[in-house]
């Protein structure tokens, strides 16, 4: 059983992060807001600024966003814009600069509108990972971000600062990965909602040393309890697809209310960004190492997207899953189209049951989803 005191610390971490950033801003600290795992946080850290996640996982600001954005757009995009338009995200308010990326058409066009609120640096993301020209282009984009940060904050991003930032960010990735991998154990010691709470809230806290210590303490506590008073668990579910945060967790909650356990979240708010570390070789150009790590992220905006298939297959084995739930936000065309191939791959290569759930942030379809997910879990139990 997880230590409730340690979990409560993570539950409060977002609020504490808001207060710490406010205090640091008053002392002259700079803040850079990010929306996506493709944004290289190491450059921001090397510029002596805080990289922080920005709000975009709640339903409330969507109505305001729909006064400007199409109704049938992805809820993540609408929520992100709505928070800015309504001035209800404190982390957006604290940000001196936004770093964004051209992952999908909806996001990159929304960023054009968002730029009226804050200075923005847009990374032009290539959408074929293996091609040499893509690697060259992405390295150039990382170099451009370095120049922008140096000019914007009046600092120099030296190789030594970049290498120090790489090591710190890698330590956080390793600490997160160690926690996630506890759920390889049967039964899983962590629920999907507990994992999400940790992963979501730590992105809003600027002191990475404190976050790493908290993660290591939580991992040690959970590990110490393995094998004690274990309960039989229901079907082990691997969640894949779109990013999820607190406020958009209704599918995870339904799975676990209905007797399943989300033992692993492959998505870019879960395991995906910690799977590959930045190369720490002292003889390697740190910008090259950073570029290689981030371009390797297996998002559905990539074509082809072989990395997602490889990662899903590996995680399905390592976490001993009984089925896969592929979550797609309404209007997210890349994940929606890719669902067909993912289902085929999991069926043919692993014989794994699969369900795709297409929804948004609202609660309007909760009961409909409950019926579908309950039937899926009952099939796995049978």
The model's pLDDT over 268-299, given as tens digits with 9 standing for 90+, comes to 999 999 999 999 999 999 999 999 999 999 99
Is the preceding peptide bond at 377 cis, omega within 30 degrees of 0? no
Q: What is the pTM assigned to this prediction?
A: 0.97
Q: What integer pLDDT is reported at residue 232 of this predicted model?
A: 87
**Taking all residues of the chain, what is their mean pLDDT, rounded to a whole number?**
97
> Which residues have C-beta within 8 Å of that of residue 143, sequence separation ≥ 6?
287
Give 168's Cβ-side CA count (13 Å radius): 22
| Residues of the domain holding 234 | 1-382
Are 301 and 334 in contact, with CB atoms under 8 Å apart?
yes
Cα dist from 294 to 139, 172, 321, whole Å? 10, 16, 27
- In this prediction, residue 169 has a pLDDT band, given cuts at 50, 70 and 90, of very high
CA 350/CA 263 separation, integer angstroms = 18
Write the pLDDT tens digit of every residue in 2-50. 889 999 999 999 999 999 999 999 999 999 999 999 999 999 999 999 9
Which CATH number does the domain housing residue 36 bear?
3.40.50.11900
Please name which of 275, 247, 314, 44 lies closest in space to residue 177, comparing C-alpha atoms: 275
Edge to edge, what strands does the sheet with 30-34 contain?
Answer: 49-53, 30-34, 97-101, 120-123
1 has a pLDDT exceeding 80: no
Q: What integer pLDDT is reported at residue 230 of this predicted model?
A: 83
Helix ranges restricted to H, the chain: 4-11, 13-26, 41-46, 62-65, 75-85, 90-94, 105-114, 132-153, 159-180, 192-202, 208-224, 250-257, 272-275, 286-295, 306-318, 333-350, 366-381
Which helix (H) or strand (E) is 58 found in, with range? none
Please name which of 222, 237, 304, 291 lies closest in space to residue 267, comparing C-alpha atoms: 237
Write the pLDDT tens digit of every residue in 118-154. 999 999 999 999 999 999 999 999 999 999 999 999 9
Question: Other C-beta atoms within 10 Å of 180: how many?
Answer: 23
Number of independent structural domains in the chain: 1
Q: What integer pLDDT is reported at residue 231 of this predicted model?
A: 83
Which neighbouring-strand residues pair with 49? 30
Cα dist from 244 to 134, 159, 165, 199, whole Å? 28, 34, 26, 10
């Amino acid at each position: 059983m997880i230590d409730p005191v340690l979990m409560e610390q993570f539950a409060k971490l977002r609020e504490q992060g808001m207060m710490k950033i406010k205090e640091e801003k008053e002392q002259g600290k700079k803040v850079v807001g990010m929306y996506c795992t493709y944004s290289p946080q190491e450059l921001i850290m090397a510029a002596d600024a805080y990289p922080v996640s920005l709000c975009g996982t709640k339903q409330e600001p969507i109505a305001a966003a729909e006064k400007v954005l199409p109704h049938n757009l992805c809820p993540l995009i609408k929520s992100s814009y709505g928070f800015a338009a309504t001035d209800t995200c404190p982390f957006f308010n604290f940000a001196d600069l936004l770093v964004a990326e051209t992952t999908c058409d909806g996001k990159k066009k929304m960023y054009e509108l968002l730029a009226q609120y804050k200075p923005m640096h847009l990374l032009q993301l290539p959408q074929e990972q293996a091609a040499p020209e893509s690697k060259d282009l992405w390295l150039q984009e990382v170099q451009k971000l370095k120049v922008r940060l140096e000019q914007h904050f009046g600092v120099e991003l030296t190789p030594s600062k970049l290498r120090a930032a790489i090591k710190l960010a890698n330590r956080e990735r390793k600490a997160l990965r160690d926690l996630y991998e506890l759920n390889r154990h049967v039964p899983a010691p962590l629920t999907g909602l507990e994992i999400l709470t940790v992963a979501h809230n730590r992105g809003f806290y600027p002191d990475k040393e404190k976050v790493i210590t908290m993660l290591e303490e939580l991992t040690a506590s959970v590990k110490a309890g393995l094998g004690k008073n274990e309960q039989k668990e229901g079907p082990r579910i691997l969640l894949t697809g779109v990013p999820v945060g607190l406020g958009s967790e209704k599918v995870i909650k339904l799975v676990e209310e209905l007797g399943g356990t989300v033992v692993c979240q492959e998505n870019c708010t879960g395991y995906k960004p910690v799977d590959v570390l930045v190369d720490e070789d002292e003889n390697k150009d740190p910008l090259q190492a950073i570029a290689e790590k981030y371009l390797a992220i297996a998002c559905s905006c990539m074509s082809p997207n072989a990395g997602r298939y490889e990662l899903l297959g590996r995680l399905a084995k390592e976490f001993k899953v009984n089925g896969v739930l592929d979550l797609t936000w309404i209007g997210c065309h890349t994940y929606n189209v890719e669902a067909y191939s993912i289902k085929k791959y999991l069926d043919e290569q692993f014989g794994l049951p699969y369900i795709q759930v297409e929804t948004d942030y609202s609660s309007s379809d909760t009961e409909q989803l409950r019926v579908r997910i309950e039937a899926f879990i009952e099939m796995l139990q049978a």
